[in-house]
Chains A and B, each alone.
Chain A
Amino acid sequence: MIPFLITTGSVLVFYLILTAGSGTIGLWSLSELVAGVCASVVAGLLTKSFLCHKGDYRMLNPVRLVLAVCYVIGPFFLEMTKANLDVAYRVITMRIRPGIIRVQSDLKSDLGIFMLANSITLTPGTITVDIDEETHDLYIHNINVGEGDEVRPAFRDHELFSLANLPAWIRRIAE
């Protein structure tokens, strides 16, 4: 019952965001509200076993959601800008020293690993290639391995980011 309610609520909120500005009841017209409730109930019935199949509801905490929004528009966007300037420099000068390195992380939950892998893919010089499912090690293609770093067996996750400590943010959001 709880997964159905959560899924229906999320779909309804998304539908209302998409149709905002259509009428006079708040921002919505009556027909859009009725259609949204019907569609979200059907979608909730069909997909209730996919969204929260682990029985873990900590992402409902509003503090975590606000932190996630702050994370995306704050430190993450900063790192992304730096990454793009870096890629622009390397496209023009072709000064690259690529290699695949191993990174160890303290994050345990699926959502935490997912956010860390996506953050790594969009931030300076690194792309996630593979993930070890048991030990949560990430294998990362780095476009510019530092001098002498190719003999190190493993890195810590916060060494990849220079401007902000993104793994600490992700731990606060998802763990």
Chain B
Amino acid sequence: MIAEMLIVLVLVIGTIFNALGVIGLLRFPDIYTRMHATTKATTFGSIFTSLAVVIYGFWRLFVTADSQFLTLAIHAIIAIFALAFTNAVSSHAIARAAHRMGVRPIPAVCDRLEEFKP
């Protein structure tokens, strides 16, 4: 019963943060602020929805002692790490490319990179 409630809680948190990420993608004014929403919120939300699978796997392993649930949990953990690292690096790549392409942050109080590399 406790494990079930924990899984539901983690799934709800993950879904809320994913929704906030997509709403931020639609609402924010320029690409850099949009990237704040998508990178942080969707990575965090996806980590939490996958964490539900990890909790489920260890819980069923504990109850049934069936090794397929160990495989499920370990593969979900590896998927979480792959997701977090690839999201961080690819958002950095897109931000760098956008600044090189000439997209400037439109509401901005300062732009030190513009002064350094015009």
Question: Which A residues contact B (CB, under 8 angstroms)?
Answer: 17-22, 27, 80-81, 83-84, 87-88, 90-92, 94, 96-102, 117-118, 121-122, 125, 127-130, 132, 139, 141, 143, 145, 150-151, 153
Question: Which B residues contact A (CB, under 8 angstroms)?
Answer: 17, 20-21, 23-24, 27-28, 30, 32-33, 35-37, 39-41, 43-44, 67-68, 70-71, 74-75, 78, 84-85, 88-89, 91-92, 95-96, 99, 105, 107-114, 116-117
**Min distance, Cβ B117 to any Cβ of chain A, angstroms:** 7
Q: Assuming the A-B contacts A91-B23, A141-B32, A143-B36, are A101 and B70 also in contact, with contact meaning beta carbons closer than 8 angstroms in the complex?
A: no
Contact assessment for A21 and B33 in the assembled complex, using a CB-CB cutoff below 8 Å: no
What are 21 A-B residue pairs whose CB atoms fall within 8 Å in the complex? A17-B74, A18-B74, A19-B71, A21-B71, A22-B67, A80-B44, A81-B44, A84-B41, A84-B44, A90-B36, A91-B28, A94-B27, A97-B109, A98-B108, A99-B111, A118-B88, A118-B89, A121-B39, A127-B35, A129-B96, A145-B109
Query: How many CB-defined contacts (below 8 Å) exist between A and B?
Result: 130
Contact assessment for B40 and A91 in the assembled complex, using a CB-CB cutoff below 8 Å: no
